[in-house]
Structure 1
Amino acid sequence: MIAAEDDDRSLVDRLKSDGSWNELWTGLDELDPIWTEDYLTAVLEPYQSGVLPPQVVQLLCIAVDAACTHLYEPGLRRHIRAALDCGVTQREILEVLKMTTSVGIHSINVGLPILLEESESH
């Protein structure tokens, strides 16, 4: 993703030059470039720290982007591609996607009791 030898350029510039820039960040960068730089530095820490293997980082990103509360298709596509590129198997990605669907089960856990309660009083 970001090479260490590029440290003399801003992170925003490096993301733009290597194709990792998300156009959704452009307005934020225009309004507050210092905050944007600080935010992206923090967000990219898991990629650069080495604490988690790259495969795990990509699987976590897939889970976040596929979650019903986020559903960010461009990021999901980018992270699935990156996961496959770093050796994650199709089956491992599928298992993460299957686990991610459990986030949506909460809507039935909350909604069903309300439906039953309201049906009794109707």
Structure 2
Amino acid sequence: MPLTPEQEALRTQFTDTGSTWTPAWERVLQIDPSYFAAYLKLHHAAFNKRLLPPKLQHLLILSADASCCTEYGPGIRANMAAALAAGATQAEVLETLELTSVLGVHSVSCGVPLLHEVLAEEGKPAIFLGESQIWDKRQSDLRDRFTATRGYWDRHWNEVLCLDPDFLEGYLAFSGEPFDERKSIFDRKTKELVYIAIDSATTHMFLPGLKLHIRNAVKFGATPYEIMEVFELVNLMGIHTMLEGVTALKEISN
């Protein structure tokens, strides 16, 4: 069914933001134009201030869609295409994905503090002894390298360092790849904005990491308005419900 002139105008408003038009968007627009128009107001609120470059806007949504908590294939492809069309390089797309791929570590960063709490509650020997902890040379070097590479040291990494320095060394190598000065593309502020995007995504909402990366982003020069724009862009992932739903509805109805 062809779009009406009014629907064509709505489609143009959407694509003018650089967003990729897909068959799912076409179905939403055809099935309920007033709903699409309402969504467009939310879409424009996120995109139209352009405090962040258009390519970065789409890379940030890409990071939320590509995270292990979301893995929304249509969004990955649509926002990757939109970012490339807005001038992003393949290397920038790759760095976005590398930054996003660290999210699995939250199994450790959530689990280890709780393990430490349970040991204390059960009267078991503490793993990390606080100020009285004595570090060996390898542990001290690892903590210094982590802080230098990643730009922070969270107190809970002390517990990880006590439990398994091998893991922390492996994680540092893995998470440090996008920070390697020989290949790194994004500045530190942009890297922190990617971390804000994946930690604030509705499918994850990892508040300890989110606060840490907001703090780091502010330290590296991000304004409250730029960080708010990240939240607004990632908020758009709620539309996945409709995009996937109308696709399934069309398949079942046929």
- TM-score over 0.5 for the alignment? yes
Say if 2:249 is the partner of 1:98. Answer: no
User: Separation in 1 of the partners of 2:171 and 2:230?
Assistant: 26
Q: List per-residue Cα deviations over 1:68-113 (Å, max 9, x = no partner).
A: 1221111111111111111111111111111111223213433466
1:72 to 203, 206, 226: 206
Q: Is the contact between residue 193 and residue 227 of structure 2 (CA under 8 Å) also seen in structure 1?
A: yes
- Contact 1:10 1:37 (C-alpha < 8 Å) held by counterparts: no
The residue that corresponds to 1:81 in the other structure is: 215
The structure that has the greater radius of gyration is: 2
Q: Distance in 1 between matches of 2:158 and 2:197?
A: 21
Q: Which residue of 2 aligns with 1:3?
A: none
Give yes or no for the alignment of 1:20 onto 2:153. yes
Equivalence for 1:41: 173
Unaligned 5+ residue runs, structure 2?
1-137
The separation in 2 between residues aligned to 1:71 and 1:106, in whole angstroms, is 17
Displacement of 1:65 after TM fit? 0.7
Residue in 2 that maps onto 1:53: 187
Pairwise CA distance, 1:55: 1.2
- Structure 1 unmatched runs, 5+: 1-6
For residues 242 and 153 of structure 2, the distance between their equivalents in structure 1, rounded to whole angstroms, comes to 37
- Kept in 1, the 8 Å contact 2:139–2:165? The answer is no
Alignment partners' CA distance in 2, 1:41 and 1:53: 19
Q: Indicate the SS of the match to 1:44.
A: helix
Using the size of structure 1 for normalisation, the TM-score is 0.65
Aligned partners of 1:84 and 1:94: how far apart in 2? 12
